[in-house]
Amino acid sequence: MWANHFTDDTRKTLSQRPVPYGWQDLPPEDVSSTLKLLNDSANKNLFDWQPPKGCVRCAVVGNGGILNGSHKGKEIDEHDYVFRLNGAVTKEFEKDVGTKTSFYGFTVNTMKNSLAAYYEYGFFETPKGEGLRYIFIPSDLRDYIMLRSGILGVPVPSGEDKGDKPAVYYGPEATPKKFKLLHPDFLAYTRDSFLKSEILKTEFANLYMPSTGGLMLLTALHSCDQVNAYGFITSNFNQFSDHYFERKKKELEFYANHDMIMEMYLWRKLHEKRIMTLYQR
């Protein structure tokens, strides 16, 4: 999403839907002031540089324990673009997960939770690099406020993250072109077309949203010619630790706001139909 998407029609439509699928109950000024800053042509498309000629190959790297001992690092780095998310630990796991990062996807909540929860495993800071792009998933007001502060290079002025310095997360010279914002319409489309969980029929319906990994994978599938997924849930998930960087095996945790089993079946189906390749073992 970028500045030119902020029209009266879009505002009216999205103001009727709650986050992350709209702007209901969000202060209009916080949304508009953020979107107006996404005015660089680089904000318009996911790939803001000239893609390679021919087939564009993308790797989406989740954090699943199946990657520990996989020796897929070199293969991952050979892709044109590499998507990572949340606790994207690479140091000491280069042989398994590679080092290349083209896109880092997150909500502010998942980013900060990952920094806190996975610090002991080596996730000391978010990925950084001149050519790296940050994909914001607008799950709450704090995402819009953090994004605006990141572009302006100023501390977060209000809300849950008040006082935070975005430069810590995105580097001191982050310009508008470094940032991408997923359109709420795209999030609604992915939910309704691919990830319409039974949770939506329960008391937890208002909490549900697709996982960060799921959204990054679907973003890649809608942008790249060939997609290979690594570190995503498979039917034998109980054989592996929750995350590849854990020193001792931990059971996969399930949360009320995600439907990982549904996502597991979707990834397997897309793999079987050769729409993407899912790393399994």
Q: What is the DSSP letter of 165?
A: -
Please give the mean pLDDT across all residues of the chain.
92
Question: 132, 103 in Cβ contact below 8 A?
Answer: yes
State residue 52's pLDDT score: 66
pLDDT higher for 104 or 253?
Answer: 104
Average pLDDT over residues 61-65: 95
* CA dist., res. 15 & res. 93, Å (int): 43
What pLDDT, in 10s, does the model give residues 195-251? 988 888 888 888 888 899 999 999 999 999 999 999 999 999 899 999 999 989 988
User: How far is Cα 126 from Cα 86, in angstroms, rounded to an integer?
Assistant: 8
Report pLDDT for 153: 92
Q: Which of 65 and 202 is assigned the larger pLDDT?
A: 65
Q: Considering only 49-53, 105-109, 139-143, which range has the smallest mean pLDDT?
A: 49-53
Q: What is the pLDDT of residue 148?
A: 94
Q: How far is CA 10 from CA 2, 4, 22, 28, 138, in A?
A: 12, 10, 10, 12, 15
User: Of the given ranges (16-25, 82-91, 251-260, 262-271), which has the lowest mean pLDDT?
Assistant: 251-260
Output the pLDDT for position 172: 85
* Percent of the chain clearing pLDDT 70 (strictly above): 99
The stretches of the chain forming alpha helices (DSSP H) are: 8-14, 28-35, 73-77, 94-97, 108-117, 141-152, 167-170, 184-193, 212-221, 260-272
User: Is residue 51 over pLDDT 80?
Assistant: no
- Give me the mean pLDDT over the 26-31 stretch: 92
169: confidence class by pLDDT, cuts 50, 70, 90:
very high
